[in-house]
C-alpha cells in the first residue's frame, strides 16, 4: 500500500473496503503477466463481494496464463472525496495499481440504478467517460450482466458488451486483446474483430435513427457487424468453473457465506421476470458434485454458513438428496445450511424436516399478486391454497416469521387485486392461529410491495409502468386495508422504480441524461443517502427528454425496440403469445410439464435443457 493511501484510510468509513490483502485474493508477478483485467462492480465492496458471478469470473480469468484479474468497487462518498483531494486514481485491490494502465476494464451490470457509478468509476480512473474520447491505446471498457440485454443507455460509454453468461466469452475477449497487443492493432481494428465473437455487441458499429415521434426508426449495423447479437451460455454447466477457493472478505459483506449454484435458468416462465428468460435453457449441477464443492469451499474458507443459490431453489429435482448429503457434513461441523428462493407450491414436509436441522430464520415466499386471476395473468403458477398450505407447514414446524413479496402495478391489475393482498395476509394469519403449537409466541407476517418494472426480453416488455401517483394510490389503498398488529406492511419508493423503468427500456439518447445527472453529482443512486430524484428530473429537462416516454408508454408490438439487436434466445412470437395469454389470464405450464417452445433450444442446439 502506498503512503498516500495509508494517510487517507484512517479518515474514511470501513477502510477495509479499500485495502485488499484478503485471504484467497490472487496476487501475481507483474513480470509474468501480459494482460491485466480490472473486474469492476459498480457498487460498494459489501454488495460486490456478495455477488457469485463476480467470484466466478475472477477465478476463470485468473486461471489463465499471463492474465491478472483484479477487483475494483465503487468507493463510498468519503473515500471518493479523499481520492480526488489527494489525486489518487482508482486502483485494483490486489496490486494497488491504477486501472487506467490495465488492458481491459469490465463492469458487471445487474441494476440500472448503478449506471451513474460506471461513469464515476471511469472518471475516478482518470479516463474520459465516453468511448469516442478514448481513442487508444488504453483500456477497452467492457460490460456484461442482465442489464446488458438493453445496452443502449450506456452505449456511448462502453466499448463492447458481452451478452449472457461470461465464463467463455470473457476468455475469448481476453485472447483477442492479447493478439491485438502483440500485433499492434488500433482500437477500431480490435472492436471490429471483437464484433465477430458470438455474444459481443459493439455499439459503435451500429447507427440508430429516430422517427419524428421519438421512437427508434432504424438500427443499421456497419462494417460487417451482425444484425442480431445472441447471448452466450455455458454449454456444460455441470462441469463449469466453481470457486471452491474463494476470497474471504476482511470486513462484513451482505452475503458472507459459501454460495452453491444449483442450476441456471428457471422452469416457471413468470411473464415479468427478466432473469427467468435471460438464463434459459435450464441447466443443473449434479448433486454429488455440489456436495463436494460445498464441503471443500467451507473447508478452504472457514465459513460457517452455506446457502443454496438459484432462481427457484425448491425446483432443483434432487434437492432433498443434496440437503441430506450436505447436512451429513454440516451438522457435526456446525455449519448452517440455508435455502432461499423457495416456492410456495413445493414447500414440502420433507423439506421442512431438513430445514429444522439449521437455525430457524424467517421464511420468504413471493406470491407476487393478491388474487388468483392476477397470479394466472403473470403465470406465477401458484394457488392460494398452495401458499396457505406452505405457511401452515412452516407454522406447524415452529416458524413464527413469514415474509410475503408482491408487486403493485402489474399489467391488468385492478383495485380488487390490490385488496386481495390484504385478504391473503389475513388468511396467512388465520393459518397461523389454526396450526401453531404455541400461539403465545406470536407471529410476524411481513408484506412487502414493489412497483412493477417492465423489462426487455420478457412478455411484458411492451407494457407501461403505472405512474408514481397511481402506485402511491394503490399503496394507500392497501395500507388502509391492512389489519392486525401481527401484519406489517413495507413498500418500495416509486422514484427509483420509475428511473429503473426509464433506463430499462431506454435508448441511446438517455446517455446525455445520465452524463448530465452524473456531472451534477449523481452516484450511488441505489442508496437512499445519495439518491436525489430532483437531480435526475433536472437532467431530463436539460436534455429535453420526457422520462414518461420511456417508463409509462405502452409499446406497439410493431415498434422497433431499442434493444432489438440483442437476443436472449427467446423468440418474439413466443413473448407475444405469452403477452396475449396474460390478458386472458391463462397460465402456461412449466417446462417440466410441456416444452413451451420459447426458442432457446433452437438457438443453442448443443445446450442441454435439464427442465
- 440 pLDDT exceeds 80? no
Domain assignment of residue 278, yes or no = yes
Largest CA distance in the chain: 75
What size, in residues, is the chain? 611
Domain assignment of residue 542, yes or no = no
Q: Cell triple for residue 232?
A: 452466450
| Domain C-terminal end among 223, 248, 277 | 223
**Confidence at residue 228, expressed as pLDDT on a 0 to 100 scale:** 97
Full residue range of the structural domain in which residue 75 is found: 3-223
**Confidence at residue 354, expressed as pLDDT on a 0 to 100 scale:** 65
| 211-237 average pLDDT score | 95
What CATH number does residue 394 fall under? 3.20.20.70
pLDDT-derived band at 471, boundaries 50, 70, 90: very high
Together in a domain, 112 and 170: yes
Together in a domain, 181 and 330: no
- 107 pLDDT exceeds 80? yes
| 339-345 average pLDDT score | 72
- Encode pLDDT of 241-296 as tens digits: 999 999 999 899 999 999 999 999 999 899 999 999 999 999 999 999 999 999 99
Domain assignment of residue 62, yes or no = yes
What residue has cell string 454440516?
Answer: 330
- C-alpha 552/C-alpha 503 separation (Å) is 12
The CA distances from residue 445 to 317, 346, 403, 476, 488, in Å, are 29, 20, 6, 19, 6
- Encode pLDDT of 493-519 as tens digits: 999 999 999 999 999 999 999 999 999
The CA distances from residue 474 to 477, 481, 490, in Å, are 5, 11, 13
- C-alpha 478/C-alpha 420 separation (Å) is 9
**Confidence at residue 129, expressed as pLDDT on a 0 to 100 scale:** 98
H or E segment and range at residue 258: strand 258-261
Domain assignment of residue 32, yes or no = yes
**Confidence at residue 341, expressed as pLDDT on a 0 to 100 scale:** 64
Together in a domain, 80 and 155: yes
Together in a domain, 268 and 197: no
Q: Strand 487-491 vs strand 35-41: parallel, antiparallel, or unpaired?
A: unpaired
Dihedral of the alpha carbons of 278, 60, 36, 48, in degrees to the nearest 10: 60
Together in a domain, 213 and 327: no
Give me the percent of the chain exceeding a pLDDT of 70.
95
Query: Do residues 264 and 277 make contact, with C-beta atoms less than 8 angstroms apart?
Result: no
Domain assignment of residue 245, yes or no = no
Together in a domain, 104 and 192: yes
Whether the bond into 156 is cis, omega within 30 of 0 = no
Q: What is the mean pLDDT of the chain?
A: 93
- Higher-pLDDT residue of 388 and 362 is 388
Domains in the chain, number: 2
Together in a domain, 219 and 267: no
Query: Do residues 22 and 89 make contact, with C-beta atoms less than 8 angstroms apart?
Result: no
**Confidence at residue 603, expressed as pLDDT on a 0 to 100 scale:** 64
Together in a domain, 114 and 9: yes
Query: Do residues 258 and 303 make contact, with C-beta atoms less than 8 angstroms apart?
Result: yes
| 534-547 average pLDDT score | 98
**Closest of 6, 70, 2, 62 to residue 37, by C-alpha:** 70
Together in a domain, 352 and 395: yes
pLDDT-derived band at 364, boundaries 50, 70, 90: confident
Together in a domain, 356 and 290: yes
- Encode pLDDT of 70-81 as tens digits: 999 999 999 999
Domain assignment of residue 401, yes or no = yes
What residue has cell string 453529482?
Answer: 521
Given strand 363-368, what is the order of strands in its sheet?
363-368, 401-408, 444-451, 487-491
Residues 6+ apart with CB under 8 A from 296: 244
- 434 pLDDT exceeds 70? yes
Query: Do residues 361 and 397 make contact, with C-beta atoms less than 8 angstroms apart?
Result: no
- 607 pLDDT exceeds 60? no
pLDDT-derived band at 10, boundaries 50, 70, 90: very high
- Encode pLDDT of 31-66 as tens digits: 999 999 999 999 999 999 999 999 999 999 999 999
**Confidence at residue 601, expressed as pLDDT on a 0 to 100 scale:** 76
Q: Cell triple for residue 42?
A: 459498480
C-alpha neighbours within 13 Å on the C-beta side of residue 85: 12
| 392-396, 407-411, 574-578: least confidently modelled range | 392-396
pLDDT-derived band at 591, boundaries 50, 70, 90: confident
**Closest of 126, 142, 247 to residue 203, by C-alpha:** 142
What CATH number does residue 66 fall under? 3.40.50.280
- C-alpha 288/C-alpha 484 separation (Å) is 46
Query: Do residues 326 and 295 make contact, with C-beta atoms less than 8 angstroms apart?
Result: yes
- C-alpha 327/C-alpha 337 separation (Å) is 8
Q: Count other C-beta atoms under 10 Å from residue 223's C-beta.
A: 12
Together in a domain, 365 and 441: yes
**Confidence at residue 436, expressed as pLDDT on a 0 to 100 scale:** 79
**Confidence at residue 26, expressed as pLDDT on a 0 to 100 scale:** 97
Question: Helix or strand or coil: residue 70?
Answer: strand
Together in a domain, 154 and 270: no
Domain assignment of residue 610, yes or no = no
Which one-letter DSSP state was computed for residue 188?
H
Residues 6+ apart with CB under 8 A from 348: 393
Q: Cell triple for residue 273?
A: 421476470
Domain assignment of residue 540, yes or no = no
Amino acid at each position: 500500500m502506498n503512503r498516500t493511501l495509508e494517510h487517507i484510510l484512517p479518515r474514511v468509513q470501513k477502510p477495509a473496503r479499500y485495502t485488499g490483502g484478503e485471504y484467497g485474493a490472487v496476487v501475481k508477478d507483474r513480470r509474468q503477466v501480459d494482460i491485466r483485467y480490472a473486474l469492476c462492480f459498480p457498487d460498494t465492496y459489501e454488495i460486490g463481494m456478495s455477488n457469485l458471478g463476480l467470484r466466478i469470473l475472477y477465478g476463470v480469468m485468473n486461471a489463465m496464463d499471463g492474465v491478472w484479474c483484479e477487483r475494483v468497487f465503487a468507493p463510498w462518498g468519503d473515500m471518493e472525496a479523499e481520492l480526488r483531494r489527494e489525486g489518487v486514481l482508482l486502483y485494483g485491490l490486489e496490486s494497488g495499481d491504477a486501472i487506467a494502465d490495465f488492458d481491459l476494464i469490465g463492469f458487471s451490470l445487474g441494476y440500472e440504478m448503478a449506471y451513474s457509478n460506471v461513469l464515476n468509476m471511469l472518471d475516478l480512473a482518470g479516463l474520459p467517460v465516453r468511448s469516442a474520447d478514448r481513442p487508444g491505446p488504453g483500456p477497452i471498457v467492457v460490460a456484461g450482466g442482465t442489464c446488458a440485454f438493453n445496452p443502449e443507455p450506456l452505449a456511448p460509454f462502453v466499448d463492447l458488451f458481452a451478452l449472457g453468461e461470461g465464463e467463455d466469452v470473457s476468455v475469448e475477449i481476453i485472447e483477442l486483446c492479447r493478439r491485438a497487443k502483440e500485433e499492434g492493432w488500433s482500437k477500431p481494428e480490435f472492436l471490429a474483430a471483437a464484433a465477430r465473437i458470438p455474444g459481443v455487441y459493439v455499439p459503435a458499429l451500429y447507427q440508430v435513427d429516430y422517427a419524428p415521434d421519438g421512437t427508434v426508426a432504424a438500427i443499421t449495423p456497419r462494417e460487417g457487424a451482425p444484425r442480431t447479437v445472441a447471448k452466450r451460455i455455458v454449454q456444460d454447466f455441470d462441469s463449469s468453473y466453481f470457486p471452491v477457493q474463494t476470497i474471504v472478505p476482511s470486513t462484513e459483506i451482505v452475503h458472507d457465506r459459501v454460495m452453491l449454484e444449483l442450476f441456471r435458468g428457471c422452469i416457471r416462465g413468470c411473464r415479468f421476470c427478466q432473469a427467468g428468460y435471460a438464463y434459459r435453457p435450464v441447466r443443473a449441477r449434479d448433486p454429488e458434485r455440489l456436495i463436494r464443492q460445498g464441503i471443500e469451499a467451507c473447508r478452504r474458507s472457514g465459513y460457517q454458513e452455506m446457502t443454496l443459490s438459484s432462481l427457484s431453489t425448491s425446483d432443483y429435482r434432487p434437492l432433498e438428496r443434496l440437503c441430506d448429503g450436505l447436512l451429513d457434513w454440516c451438522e457435526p461441523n456446525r455449519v448452517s445450511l440455508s435455502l432461499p428462493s423457495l416456492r410456495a407450491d413445493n414447500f414440502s414436509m420433507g423439506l421442512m424436516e431438513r430445514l429444522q436441522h439449521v437455525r430457524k430464520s424467517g421464511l420468504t415466499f413471493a406470491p407476487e399478486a393478491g388474487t388468483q386471476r392476477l397470479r394466472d395473468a403473470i403465470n406465477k403458477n401458484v394457488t392460494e391454497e398452495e401458499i396457505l398450505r406452505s405457511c401452515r407447514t412452516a407454522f406447524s414446524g415452529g416458524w413464527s416469521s413469514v415474509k410475503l413479496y408482491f408487486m403493485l402495478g402489474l399489467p391488468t391489475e385492478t383495485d380488487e387485486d390490490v385488496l386481495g393482498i390484504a385478504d391473503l395476509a389475513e388468511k396467512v394469519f388465520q393459518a397461523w392461529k389454526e396450526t401453531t403449537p404455541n400461539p403465545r409466541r406470536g407471529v410476524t407476517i411481513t408484506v412487502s410491495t414493489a412497483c412493477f418494472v417492465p423489462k426487455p426480453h420478457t412478455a411484458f416488455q411492451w407494457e407501461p409502468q403505472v405512474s408514481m401517483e397511481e402506485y402511491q394510490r394503490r399503496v394507500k389503498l392497501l395500507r388502509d386495508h391492512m389489519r392486525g398488529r401481527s401484519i406489517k406492511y413495507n413498500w418500495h419508493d416509486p422514484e427509483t422504480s420509475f428511473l429503473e423503468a426509464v433506463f430499462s427500456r431506454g435508448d441511446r439518447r438517455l446517455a446525455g441524461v445520465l452524463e448530465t445527472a452524473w456531472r451534477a453529482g449523481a452516484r450511488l443512486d441505489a442508496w437512499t443517502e445519495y439518491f436525489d430524484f430532483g437531480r435526475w428530473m433536472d437532467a431530463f429537462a436539460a436534455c429535453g427528454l420526457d422520462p414518461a416516454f420511456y417508463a409509462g408508454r405502452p409499446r406497439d408490438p410493431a415498434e422497433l425496440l431499442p434493444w432489438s439487436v440483442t437476443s436472449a434466445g427467446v423468440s418474439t412470437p413466443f413473448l407475444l403469445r405469452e403477452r396475449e395469454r396474460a390478458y386472458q389470464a391463462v397460465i402456461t405450464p412449466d417446462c417440466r410439464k410441456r416444452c413451451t417452445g420459447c426458442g432457446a433450444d433452437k438457438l443453442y442446439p448443443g445446450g442441454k435443457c435439464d427442465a
